[in-house]
Structure 1
Amino acid sequence: MYNRFMYNTRLIQSSLEDLKNITKADFYLCDSKKEVLVSTFEKLDLDEKEISLFVEGDADRQNIRQYNFVKIRKNDKETYTLITYLANGDSYMIGRIAASEVTHLMSIQTPKITKEDFYKDLIRGNVLFNEIRTRSQALHINTEALRRVMAISLHGEDTEELFPICLEIIKNIYPDKKEDYVLNVDDNVILLIKEFSDGSEDEANECARQIVSTINTELMTGAKVTYGCLVTELKDLSESYKQASMAMEVVKIFYDDRDIASYTSLGIGRLIHQLPRQLCEMFLKEVFGENDKDLLTNEQVNIIEKFFDNNLNVSETARSLDIKRTTLIYKIEKINEILKLDINKFEDAMTLKIAMMVAKYTSYIYKNN
């Protein structure tokens, strides 16, 4: 419908809302397919058949009760219907004024929106709901495919120099821009808006593994891929984007050993990430008291992490650390004395595990602020 330019429905919406505030009238604008473009109605109390009869009919103007219908013709192919409602007053005259304003605003043509611009606006939540279908149709984008937003980040040395090369690699893996689209939203993260056939976690993980493997091979550096929940409509892509972005941050803070992670697999790290800093600091003070949370040595922290990794099993932990069992027991006792906890017990071990993760999070906040 829009070969060279797209009308700024946001501007039209704003103008009609201003007119509503002045005249107390409501307005409804739709295209020849009866797709609503702009509306100030909370609820349009009109039968769909009444709208269809006017849209498909030959009349240019018509009054039905307090509703005034008028067609706005841009050319042989583009016809729009503006409906004006005024409970007490002349809806015909106000409808003429509104139609004139809409016609003028439609003549203010905005540069053609590219897919890249559309997707960037979409994931940032900058596209009105009414505009999504119109723009996607103009850009030939399927509105109801199964999609996820995937975030891709490099880790290792020389990531800044390798980033542009990585972007080209991802674009070469997914060259079909009708189904998948690669975006560069900043200098640290590449976004892939990916269509899926069945939408399963296995399918998403396989896609992520392919990306990580290709980057490892081509650039000889590490990569992380995170992804949000599956969405079935374009309007929900912004939520999948937020989830993928949050997942990337959570992985970097708590799970640096993971190359691939979904938003739903982040466990307690995701919960801690959403806690306010003040609450985190209060919790750390409750666990460690007035002691410095960094009072443990690197060796002691390593022992605790291995102990947790081995499910509080002393023998397995001693084997993985390559030390004697009795030596490990002694070292754990020293840790218990320092922390005033007994990490051999599940409840105390869980408290310390959470406290160590919260400490990581607060350190991350301070570092980035």
Structure 2
Amino acid sequence: MISNQILQSTIDGLKSITRKELSVVEKEGKVIATTEENMIGRQIDAVENFISSPAESQLILGYQYFKIYDNGVPEYVIQVKGEDESGYQIGKIAAFQIQSLLVAYKERYDKDNFIKNLLLDNLLLVDIYSRAKKLHIENNVHRIVYLIETNIDKEMNVVEIVRSIFPAKTKDFVTAVDEHSIILVKELREKETADEIDRIAKTIEETLNAETNSRVYISSGTIVSDLKDVSRSYKEAKMALEVGKIFETDKYIVNYEKLGIGRLIYQLPLPLCRMFIKEVLHGLTMDDFDDETLATVNKFFENNLNVSETSRQLYIHRNTLVYRLDKLQKMTGLDLRNFDDAIIFKITLMVSKYMIYMDKMAY
């Protein structure tokens, strides 16, 4: 349950204070963490006999051994070099320290397991509240779910990096869904603003970019005030991540509440989308429009259908822009200088993006 790196860090810290050589040994006798270079990976046969004996500690060939329990069953053995009284005291302290780590990590594991099942809707309503009470997790507080997607090497513990961003927030939960997806269930103050929610996402992004030198995507759901609704916020964050990849390709942080019309289009069935495209474009597809035309249209939309500003930003004459818009009108029957036609073509572009994305996902 506790990683070997944590065990190694613990005994390294104890050695720096006590100047005693220590090792952590599995109950089968293999050394998994040590301050003695020649001990790592060694098999200590005497440990198995010690584990099966009723003794709490034992002196064997110049080393003192102490048991560490998990639910009353020996899980590890601490080995301390030396036969003196100080070695005995240090061994007891080391055993107590790792025993405490076991309890803390087990509690966190139980909470992580609960949160995972909660997010995936694997719990009955009555189980949610009863288990939350046992784990000392409050029900009626404001929470929001952040979904973090990375392509970071699995050897790097991204979960621990995210946890380190909120070290004092013991009521926040960070757990891994798979190799590339991490979930943060963040507790919020009652008056937390939308700007603060975006700031938290930005903090996560900047920290992970700096620590891992890799790009991450972050999405967030809506704020919920009941534990049973956390799974809804998670589903919203998942949708936000997908919608962002389709319609907000230049953004790495996406908020569910700011998805706009993209959220609506994402939920349309593909046959309906194909019918819409066929009716609007009269048999044409987006491949029939050259890159220059599409770039002009997008810039025209960015400038709220302002011909003068669009031509200025594209470094073209106003008449050139009008010519391109007229050309598009001849192809589609839509005059983008007309607000209603502009809306129809904007939706057409978004629906086409959605269809292309879904076709790629199908393969």
Letter in 1 for 2:170: K
| Distance in 1 separating the partners of 2:255 and 2:307 | 32
Whether the aligned pair in 1 keeps the contact of 2:300 and 2:310 (CA below 8 Å) is: yes
Q: How many residues align?
A: 255
Q: Aligned in 2, Cα 1:228/1:296: closer, same or farther, shift over 3 Å?
A: same
Per-residue CA shift, 1:85-131, capped at 9, x if unaligned?
xxxxxxxxxxxxxxxxxxxxxxxxxx997111100100111111111
Query: What amino acid sits opposite 2:358 in the alignment?
Result: I
- Deviation larger for 239-248 or 191-200: 191-200
Residue 302 of structure 1 is aligned with which of 281, 295, 298?
295
Partner of 2:187, secondary structure, is strand
| TM-score computed with the length of structure 2 as normaliser | 0.66
Which residue identity lines up with residue 231 of structure 2 in the other structure? S
1:246 corresponds to = 239
The RMSD of aligned alpha carbons is 2.0
Alignment of 1:270-349 (within 5 A): 270-349=263-342
Deviation for aligned residue 1:245: 0.6
Name the residue aligned to 1:202.
195
CA separation in 2, counterparts of 1:128 and 1:186?
A: 24
Matched, 1:217 2:213: no
Offset, 1:344: 1.1
- Give the alignment's TM-score, normalised by structure 1: 0.65
- Paired residue secondary structure (2:183): strand
What does residue range 106-255 of structure 1 map to in structure 2 within 5 Å?
Answer: 114-154=110-150, 159-161=151-153, 164-176=156-168, 178-198=170-190, 199-255=192-248
**Contact preservation (8 Å) 1:133, 1:143:** yes
User: How many angstroms does 1:368 deviate by?
Assistant: 0.5
1:230–1:240: 8 Å Cα contact kept in structure 2? Answer: yes
User: Aligned-pair distance for 1:308?
Assistant: 0.4
Tell which has more relative contact order, 1 or 2 (C-alpha 8 A, sep 6+): 1
- Hey, what's the Cα distance between the residues in 1 that align with 2:230 and 2:217? 20
User: Which blocks of at least 5 consecutive residues in structure 2 are unaligned?
Assistant: 1-105
TM-superposed deviation, 1:290: 1.3
Q: Deviations over 1:273-304 (max 9, x none)?
A: 11111111110111111122320011211111
Deviations 1:334-363, CA, capped at 9 Å, x for gaps: 222222211111111110000110001111
Separation (CA, whole Å) in 1 of partners of 2:156 and 2:355 = 32
The within-5 A match list for 1:92-107 is none
Counterparts of 2:179 and 2:352 in 1: how far apart (Å)? 28
- Measure the CA separation in 2 of the matches of 1:251 and 1:232: 25
Q: Which residue of 2 aligns with 1:361?
A: 354
Give the deviation of 1:222 after TM superposition.
Answer: 3.0
Task: Provide the rounded CA distance (Å) in 1 between the counterparts of 2:309 and 2:235.
Answer: 39
CA distance in 2, matches of 1:307, 1:225: 29
Q: Tell me the residue number matched to 1:257.
A: 250
* Alpha-carbon distance between aligned partners in 1 of 2:138 and 2:197, rounded to the nearest angstrom: 19
Gaps of 5+ in 1: 1-110
Q: Would the aligned equivalents of 1:163 and 1:187 in 2 still touch at CA under 8 Å? A: no
Amino acid at match of 1:141: I
Contact 1:254 1:360 in 2 (8 A): yes
User: Is the Cα–Cα contact under 8 Å of residues 174 and 181 in structure 1 kept in the other structure?
Assistant: no
Per-residue deviation at 1:218?
2.8
